[in-house]
Amino acid sequence: MSKDKSVVDITSFNTVESSEHGEPMDLFYAGRETGLKLIVIGEHSDSVQRYLTERAKEFARKAKFAEKRGKELDSMLEFIEKTKDRDIENAMVRIIGWENGGEFDKEKLRRGLEKNPQWIEDVIEFSKDLGNFTKSA
């Protein structure tokens, strides 16, 4: 007896494409919903990957230049000092809009993230799972 087995095409799965579709993420403040939802894309999306690649290249260039000047430690300290700004940028590249917040404004978003660093972590964590579970269009 033979059983019919369905054939699954491995190329039918596309995490990169799924990551491009923004999904709403509820924002919480003091453990309560704010009513604001950020529209977040996945970390496997092309735009997030380009951003992460550029940051890695920038760090490598600065480290190499600093090493040539004999100031490797200074370069590392400067990098650490700018971490907060990089964290904000890392979250912002993943946010493509919002719901219930009026017209989307990147500068207003930046100010909100600066005042609420927990949202930065929330956005990055949310983005990590996107594309892995959403359906491709």
d(CA 23, CA 134): 9
DSSP-assigned beta bridge partners for residue 37: 26, 99
Burial class (CB in 10 A: 0-12, 13-18, 19+), 127: buried
Q: What is the pLDDT of residues 34-74, one digit of tens each?
A: 999 999 999 999 999 999 999 888 878 877 777 777 766 56
Token digits for 113? 């993230």
Instruction: For residue 112, give every residue at least 6 positions away whose Cβ sits within 8 Å of its Cβ, in sequence order, or none.
Output: 119
pLDDT at residue 96 in the model = 96
